[in-house]
Chains A and B, each alone.
Chain A
Amino acid sequence: MFRNNYDNDSVTFSPQGRIFQVEYASEAVKQGSVVVGIVSKTHAVLVALKRNAEELSSYQKKVIAIDEHLGLALAGLASDARVLSNFMKQQSLSSRLTYGRAIPLERLVSSIGDRAQTNTQHYGKRPYGVGLLVAGVDETGPHLFEFQPSGMTQEMVACAIGARSQMARTYLERNLEKFADAGREELVKHGLAALKESLAQDKELTVENCSVGVVGVRAEGAKAIEAFKLYDGMEVKQWVDLVAEGNETAEGGMEVDS
């Protein structure tokens, strides 16, 4: 009686001009745990909250290094992210091989955008069920891009996707003007603080459930880059401790303001 006749496949438009399968794919992104990306004039960072299926299991990897100059964080179907990240690795390598050049981020991101778009246009295919934040450095400096299953890609100053990411986005919007001139450590700190905002009530940031990816230019305007590095486990302890302590003072400070 009230069945939706327009959501059986991605090649059917609804009478309102919507493609429900693509919208369902976006829902998959919202089920994934939250990831945050921020970019400054010199650095781009990715911060991710990892989930474990149960106490005894390991935590799902959320940040993937693609090439020396870029990496991504995912929210949604991890296997779709693997497909896309493998493709991105190939594209990056092919650029290095044929031109001896690090692939421009904008081009790489629009190429996965095109791939995702094709999947919404052909019968028998399905949209990717994953959202990505792609952070990296190229000739034109540090960049952060958002990728959605619809094929939409956008350059962002700061972004958060995944479950309960709205809270992280609110934090990012509040602190927006601080990002451009922020240094490496400060950027990571903001990232973790944003992540903390979106945590469920009984959860805390720990060395087990955080991942941080950092990439940057060595000095402003310089050609040399600080290669993309993924920090996991004990390597993130310095930052996690910092945000855990910083939280009390920050909240205290806010109370004084209001």
Chain B
Amino acid sequence: MNHLPQAWGRPRDDVYGAYDASYLQSNGPNQHTQSPIVTGTSVVALKFKDGVVIAADNLASYGSLARFTDVKRLRTFADTSVVGFGGDVSDMQYLDRLLNSLDTEEAYSTSGHTLNAKNLHTYLAKVFYKRRSDFNPLWNQVLVAGLDGEGKPFLASADLLGTTFSSPSLATGFGANLAQPLLRKVAPDEEAASKLSQEQALEAVKESMKVLFYRDARSLDKYSIAVVTKDGIDLKEDEKLEKQSWAFADQIRGYGTQVN
């Protein structure tokens, strides 16, 4: 029996010889997150007259493998805001915990004060910028939807670099290329967005989710969609894409010369 605790559980030197520590690299540069592993794709959002519609599909991809098909990428905050996450899922889960503790802290020490969507966005942007300044980014782009301090619809983006911007419609990842042009047709500017009805906004967002499913190889036809207004959040997490158009495919044959 060896009485020295530091030797417990180790291969015995007298049997196996001294451990060759040269395999253990004890110095060298610190390595932080290099790249995302399990990822979520686009988040799509659009402002309307009295609120914001935001949607994201329920897929978490592992490279090109559609690994997890029931990952909810929209999370609510304090019943007043919705955050949509794109990018690395583990970092999304970290941010989710961070927001939970922020919510708890806020409820502990104040009465009658809440963080609105604008405050939440500022906070998240600071977290992202701090992390990228440490060369250890949180590999996400998020959209924050809700109402600002004046009760007006609020929608803004924050990403792994700490970059922020806002617009009547926003989309992350593939959505920036595919959904944004469609949403901008509906709401080219703030004024147009302030005239949109909830139905119009919902339809436009659902349409862009469909286009994304057609053309984004890392997307899914199951998605979550939330409507934020002053009355609260209406979050649906198990929506299916409807009325997809595939009938035309029957008519397509070959790549040019094939007739039948």
Residues of A within 8 A of B (CB): 97-101, 104, 106-107, 110, 138-140, 223
Contacts and interface: CB of A to CB of B under 8 A. Distances in A.
B72 interface: no
Contacts of B231: none
Contacts of B123: 98-99
A225 to B, nearest CB: 12
Interface residues of B, number: 13
A31 to B, nearest CB: 33
A138 B149 CA distance: 12
B78 to A, nearest CB: 13
A26 B113 CA distance: 32
B178 interface: no
A99 B109 contact: no
Given A98-B123, A99-B115, A100-B119, A223 B149 contact: yes
A139 B112 contact: yes
Interface in B101-141: 109-113, 115, 118-119, 122-123, 126
Given A98-B122, A99-B119, A100-B118, A139 B150 contact: no
Contacts of B119: 99-101
Nearest to B114: A139
Contacts, number: 32
Given A99-B115, A223-B149, A110 B109 contact: yes
A95 B37 CA distance: 34
Contact of B122 (A100, A106, A107, A110): A100
B112 A98 contact: no
B113 A139 contact: yes
B126 A97 contact: yes
Contacts of A98: 122-123, 126
A190 B27 CA distance: 70
Given A100-B119, A101-B119, A223-B149, A106 B111 contact: yes
Q: Which 8 A-B pairs have the closest CB atoms?
A: A100-B122, A99-B119, A104-B113, A140-B112, A101-B119, A104-B110, A98-B126, A107-B109
B150 A107 contact: no
A223 to B, nearest CB: 6
Contacts of A97: 126
B124 to A, nearest CB: 10
A139 B111 CA distance: 11
Contact of B113 (A100, A138, A223): A138
Report which residue of A100, A104, A107, A110 has the largest number of chain B beta carbons within 10 angstroms of its beta carbon.
A100
A99 B119 CA distance: 5
Contacts of A99: 115, 119, 122-123
B5 to A, nearest CB: 35
Interface in B132-157: 149-150
Nearest to B126: A98
Nearest to B149: A223
A82 to B, nearest CB: 25
Nearest to B119: A99
Given A98-B123, A110-B109, 4 more contacts: A99-B122, A101-B149, A106-B111, A140-B113
Contacts of B122: 98-101
A63 to B, nearest CB: 25
A139 B149 CA distance: 9
Contacts of B149: 101, 223
Nearest to B122: A100
Given A98-B122, A98-B126, A107 B110 contact: yes
Contacts of A106: 109-111, 113
A40 to B, nearest CB: 19
A99 B110 CA distance: 15
21 contacts: A98-B122, A98-B126, A99-B119, A99-B123, A100-B118, A100-B119, A100-B122, A101-B115, A101-B119, A101-B149, A104-B110, A104-B113, A106-B109, A106-B110, A107-B109, A107-B113, A138-B113, A140-B112, A140-B113, A223-B149, A223-B150
A140 B114 CA distance: 11
B83 to A, nearest CB: 15
Report which residue of B110, B123, B150 has the largest number of chain A beta carbons within 10 angstroms of its beta carbon.
B110
A194 to B, nearest CB: 29
Nearest to B111: A106
A110 B122 CA distance: 24
Contacts of A110: 109
